[in-house]
Amino acid sequence: MQTHEHVAATDHADPPVGSQIDYRYFMNCVHCGLCTSACPTYLETGNENDSPRGRIYLMRGVVDGRIALTDTVKHHLELCLDCRACETACPSGVQYGRLIEPFRVEMQQRELAAGDSTANGWFQKFILYGLFPYASRLRWALTPARWAQRLGLDRLADGLGLTKLLPKQLQRMQALLPKLPSPTPRLPEVLSPVGKRRARVALFTGCVADAMFGPTNWATARVLQYNGCEVVVPRNQVCCGAIHYHSGAGDPALQLAQQNAAAFNMDDVDAVIINVAGCGSMLKDYGHVAHELAPADDATRQRLDKFAHKVKDVSEFLMSLGPIKPTGEIKLRATYHDACHLCHAQKIREQPRDLLSLVPGLELVPLAESEICCGAAGSYNLTQPEMAAQLGRRKLENILKTNAQAVITGNAGCSLQLQMQLRQSGHDIWVAHPMDVLDLSYRQQQPACLR
């Protein structure tokens, strides 16, 4: 078989896509197939090319010069959710994320360099990159939608079929919109702890999460306060860069990472707290991202790596700190959905469940296939709507079997996807973040579904 080194030495044209990836990442895969039962797309299609080992074989074939990077090959790679479930299942420790992510970044860079207009079309330019990463812009854009919901104009537009006149991706965005809460005031720059100070932390508020789930950011800050944390909210923080990075736009992702590293004073806080699984995974990967996108810049890599080591999911941090037990009773039957980038990428499973077990009266029932992706995967449910819908329906069926009154999950994208599936199927089940539940218990309040 032709080796990577041989191709690099003999090919005088542009090196194949993926040539910059450390070839040992490919070689770690022994193609045993244990990852296939964990892969959401393989479970749905049964196509080996839509499995992790199949995609690794395709990427390695492109790097070795044995396979051309055709539209068919690109489709199989783009259909990957990057949920990292294969990493959990793999007995060989294959770092699949270190393969698929830089490979897709380079795919897009080559397409842009070749003048391919589809590589950065209107949706990517104006929505994915121009709107979503900016909380202030998104809040402004959501104002008409909020008023339409209050006046019932959204239901009227659906009833008259007006939403079907929108481009498909905008139709999907409109379908994903949850019932928008009233705008929340901006979090103060510093929030004092309740009682004796046990830690000083910085809160990462995100972009989509900040614009659409402001109450959850406030709940997170209050829970940290109740646990003796002084909470700092840096004003210069920006989007984590996951939207860009996972869709192949490497340069802006690196720029956002550098801005965040500059916005947070690492020497002044015990941890950078995040309450969104996808953002947390990206922030913790900043060192790897810098190595992939700026391999010669040691100073940037060290700075981003230092930042990454400070990042903690809020449940991870609270369990290591030692949580103060909430006392407010919440008699609720709930189930917990594992967000992919929390359980697979960050290996955080028990901490959210342990925190929820502290809430008096809360009954937490198991969810079948809890670690199988719900189909959200960042912007995946907008760019790959068919597969996202299939996975959403699969998750919905498992949720309904629990007879739960609430679904709890630690990721904004999962929340949007689950709310849409429940709403479209006519089921009124509360979708909450663990911090939403804990905050209510600390404040002796009840969720709206129990009032």
All domains in the chain, ordered by first residue = 4-116 (1.10.1060), 190-319 (1.20.1050), 326-450 (3.40.50.1860)
**121: pLDDT strictly greater than 80:** no
Percent helix, strand, coil in the chain (nearest 5)? 55, 5, 40
- Is the Cβ–Cβ distance between 388 and 414 less than 8 Å? no
More confident residue, 118 or 202: 202
- Mean pLDDT of all residues in the chain? 90
Average pLDDT over residues 258-278: 95
Least confident residue range of 164-178, 180-194, 255-269: 164-178
pLDDT band at 181 (very low <50, low <70, confident <90, very high): confident
Three-state SS at 197: coil
Average pLDDT over residues 181-185: 85
Name the band, by pLDDT with cuts 50, 70 and 90, for residue 120: low
Q: Which H or E run contains 363? A: strand 362-365
How far out from the chain centre does Cα 288 lie? 17
The band of 118, judged by pLDDT with boundaries at 50, 70 and 90, is low
Strand, coil or helix: what is 406?
A: strand
Would you place residue 44 in the very low, low, confident or very high pLDDT band (cuts 50, 70, 90)?
Answer: very high
pLDDT at 391 over 60: yes
d(CA 216, CA 214): 5
Residue 200 above 70 pLDDT? Answer: yes
Could you tell me the pLDDT band of residue 345, with boundaries at 50, 70 and 90? very high
Mutual angle of helices 250-263 and 286-293, in 10-degree steps: 130
pLDDT at 5 over 70: no
Q: Which two tokens stand for residue 25?
A: 């990442």
pLDDT value of position 63: 95
d(Cα 97, Cα 25) in Å, to the nearest integer?
10
- Under the banding of pLDDT at 50, 70 and 90, the label for residue 51 is very high
Inform me whether the pLDDT recorded for 264 exceeds 50: yes
What is residue 225's predicted lDDT score, i.e. its pLDDT?
98
Q: Which of 326, 364, 331 is nearest to 219 (CA)?
A: 326
Asked if residue 446 has pLDDT above 70, the reply is yes
Say how far apart CA 157 and CA 222 lie, in whole Å.
38
Residue 11 scores a pLDDT above 70: no
DSSP state of 337: -
Predicted confidence band at 1 (pLDDT cuts at 50, 70, 90)? very low
d(CA 310, CA 273): 8
Burial of 136 (0-12, 13-18, 19+ CB in 10 A): exposed
User: In the predicted model, is pLDDT for residue 7 greater than 50?
Assistant: no
Percent of the chain topping pLDDT 90? 68
**Residue 83 pLDDT grade (very low, low, confident, very high; cuts 50, 70, 90):** very high
The encoded tokens of residue 222 equal 């209050």
pTM of the model: 0.90
Q: How many CA atoms lie within 13 A of 101 on its CB side?
A: 27
Q: Is the pLDDT of residue 45 over 50?
A: yes
Residue 92 has pLDDT above 80, yes or no: yes
Is the CB of residue 252 less than 8 Å from the CB of residue 244? yes
Of 56-60, 136-140, 165-169, 231-235, give the lowest mean pLDDT range: 165-169
Angle at 434 between CA 429 and CA 439, to 5 degrees: 105
How far CA 349 is from CA of 55, 315, 319, 345, 394, in Å, comes to 27, 10, 12, 11, 21
Low-confidence winner among 9-13, 131-135, 333-337 (lowest mean pLDDT): 9-13
Assign 119 a pLDDT band (cuts: 50, 70, 90). low
Region 231-243: what's the mean pLDDT? 95
